[in-house]
Copies of this chain bind each other. A is one copy, B any other.
Amino acid sequence: MLYIIGLGLGDEQDITLKGLEAVKKCNKVYMEAYTSLLSFGLSTDGLSNLEKLYGKPIILADREMVEEKAHEILSEAHDAHVAFLVVGDPFGATTHTDLVVRAKKMAIDVKIVHNASVMNAIGICGLQLYRYGETVSIPFFTETWRPDSFYEKIQRNRMMGLHTLCLLDIRVKEPTLESLCRGRKTYEPPRYMTINTAIEQLLEIVEAREESAYNKDTECVGLARLGSEDQMIVAGTMKQLQLIDFGAPLHCLVITGKTHPVEEEMLDFYRCRT
């Protein structure tokens, strides 16, 4: 049996009773990505708060490992209980559909344990979930690669008065250019896009296109560390949010569409006062 278990967004206490019970039953526990484990806290003995809660070790599986060793992980799930832990919901922003498809093809039973993900927890800012259009991902611009295909999606959402959830780029275990040339893998330090960078890029695009789906006076909501004890939510114009230090990752951004009075009332609590 393969259990794919959502851990929710905050800390180790965000797992469900059903999820914890499944983990305790499992002979092997995998977790996607190293940085995720770090975000759950490491203590002096090197164990994570998750491992302490579960009373068993966790095997860290980055994307590379999942892709290369999926067959191995899945084979174990043939005769034993294997848990695969995922931050958020199993089918949230990051998809694990492929792992499920492979498992099903190998006739392995799969159980999903759902949890909150950014896709629904974003509701906390007060903008109603059924008033969102298509979600977009904003990748880091580089000197030579400045993709902006998400602009049309934002534009369409805005034209229909819908809100847009912008998921901001996470670059973890990216091989350095040097290592790619030398054929020996070394990795860049992890990078997480801030709300400030996202807005900078968004404004650059609209300027370059000489269009106006949004501008520096467009109302947005910036959210940092959503679901954590120290989450930060600020509503304001792009210009206002650009000046705010939202602190540690992860960040995300909502570009508002047409708002309803009840939405406005809630946004007021988060409004930037500068």
Contact = CB atoms under 8 A, between A and B. Distances in A.
Interface string A239-262: 000000000000000000000001
Contact of A114 (B104, B121, B266): B121
Contact of A90 (B14, B95, B115, B123): B123
Given A17-B20, A92-B120, A134-B162, A114 B262 contact: no
Interface string A213-229: 00000000000000100
Chain copies in complex: 2
Interface string A36-61: 00000000000000000000000000
Contact of A16 (B15, B128, B160): B15
A137 interface: yes
Interface string A257-274: 000001101100100000
Interface in A94-111: 95, 97-98, 100-101, 104
B130 A134 contact: yes
A1 interface: no
B13 A14 contact: no
A130 B120 contact: no
A120 B91 contact: yes
Interface in A121-138: 121, 123-124, 126, 128-137
B14 A17 contact: yes
B16 A14 contact: yes
B114 A227 contact: yes
Given A93-B130, A134-B130, A134-B162, A14 B114 contact: yes
Interface in A69-105: 89-93, 95, 97-98, 100-101, 104
A117 interface: yes
A116 B115 contact: yes
Given A95-B262, A119-B120, A119-B123, 7 more contacts: A17-B20, A91-B123, A92-B129, A101-B269, A117-B120, A129-B135, A133-B133
Interface of A: 6, 8-18, 20-21, 89-93, 95, 97-98, 100-101, 104, 112, 114-117, 119-121, 123-124, 126, 128-137, 156, 160, 162, 167, 227, 262-263, 265-266, 269
13 contacts: A8-B115, A9-B114, A10-B114, A14-B17, A14-B18, A16-B17, A91-B124, A101-B265, A114-B227, A119-B123, A119-B129, A130-B134, A130-B136
